[in-house]
Structure 1
Amino acid sequence: MSSRSAGRWLAVQALYQLDVVPTEPAQALAFVVELHAAPPEVAEFAKGLVDDTWTRRDELDRLIAEHLPEAWPLSRIGKIEKAIMRMAASELIRSAEVPTPVVLDEALELVRDYAEDKAVGFVNAVLDKVARRVRPGGVPLAAP
């Protein structure tokens, strides 16, 4: 697993924890970094993702909600799926140097690891729409 993949893996755990247990982002991240004995470069990348995602979560939630099917309010989305979509949307916005397919593929790998199988297609569809919105002209990822 690359350092960035490992950082995303840690970040999504911290973001999930923040949604479940009220705490500070630094505390949530410190817990998962220590638990997994993450190297400094992995922890630093994860910190950037967690800080940006958590700070912008309301904006990210609105962006994600705009691309959900009408019958799916954001409150219906599982916490882990929401954490992954928030993080991917944040990375699409803040990290132009990371290709769109990489961001989406990494997010879908996390969904495969943490969520039910049926969530993969759903998250893919939503993130593809988000990517088209925030990165016009970007290359979308094909369906899984």
Structure 2
Amino acid sequence: MSARRRAREAALQILYEMEITGTSPEEALSSYMETFAVRPVAKDFVRELVLGVWARREEIDSIIQRHSRNWRLERMASIDRNILRIATYELLFRPDIPPKVSLNEAIELAKRFGSEESASFVNGILDAIYRQELGGMSRAARVS
């Protein structure tokens, strides 16, 4: 398993903990890093994902909500919601990550951590975000 995939898994677990317990990003990151062995190469990526998602959570949630027909954000499973947040963050704010990588990694996270329907649910929403939010727009234009 790649260092980035492990980092995404760690970010998902940290965001889940933050949502369930109300822990701050710094506390959750510190606790996770002390408890689990995170390779040095992955630590920066974990931190960037968690802090990036947290800082832009309202914007990211608004985008997810806009593309999740018949599903309010608060009704989604917490795991699915946080997978969508990570992938949406990557799609919109990480021009160094190819969109297809972000989409594929999110689907793999959903298969591993979500329910039987999670992968298709996550795929459907992310596909809509990718096509409608990012269609025809260069990555450099999105980030600025």
TM-score (norm 2): 0.89
Structure 1 partner of 2:13: 13
| Structure 1 letter corresponding to 2:24 | E
Distance 1:112 1:44 in 2: 25
| Structure 2 letter corresponding to 1:117 | E
Shift of 1:54: 0.7
Distance 1:133 1:97 in 2: 20
Where does structure 1 differ by over 4 angstroms across 4 or more consecutive aligned residues? none
Shift of 1:36: 2.1
Match status 1:132 vs 2:131: yes
Structure 1 partner of 2:67: 67
Structure 1 partner of 2:95: 96
Alignment RMSD (CA, Å)? 1.3
SS in 2 for 1:116: coil
Structure 2 partner of 1:141: none
Given that 1:92 and 1:103 are in contact with CA atoms closer than 8 Å, whether structure 2 keeps it comes out as yes
TM-score (norm 1): 0.89
Distance 2:43 2:65 in 1: 29
Shift of 1:48: 0.3
Q: Which runs of 5+ in 1 are unaligned?
A: 139-144
Per-residue CA deviations over 1:44-84 (Å, capped at 9, x if unaligned) read: 11000000001111111100000011x21111101111111
Distance 1:32 1:105 in 2: 25
Given that 1:84 and 1:110 are in contact with CA atoms closer than 8 Å, whether structure 2 keeps it comes out as yes
Per-residue CA deviations over 1:25-46 (Å, capped at 9, x if unaligned) read: 0211222223221122211110
Shift of 1:14: 0.5
Higher helix content, 1 or 2: 2
SS in 1 for 2:117: helix
Percent of aligned pairs sharing the same letter: 35
Distance 2:75 2:18 in 1: 18
| Structure 2 letter corresponding to 1:127 | L
Structure 1 partner of 2:82: 83
Distance 1:11 1:45 in 2: 9
Structure 2 partner of 1:43: 43
Distance 1:137 1:104 in 2: 18
Shift of 1:2: 1.2
Distance 1:35 1:135 in 2: 37
Q: Number of aligned pairs?
A: 137
Distance 1:67 1:56 in 2: 17
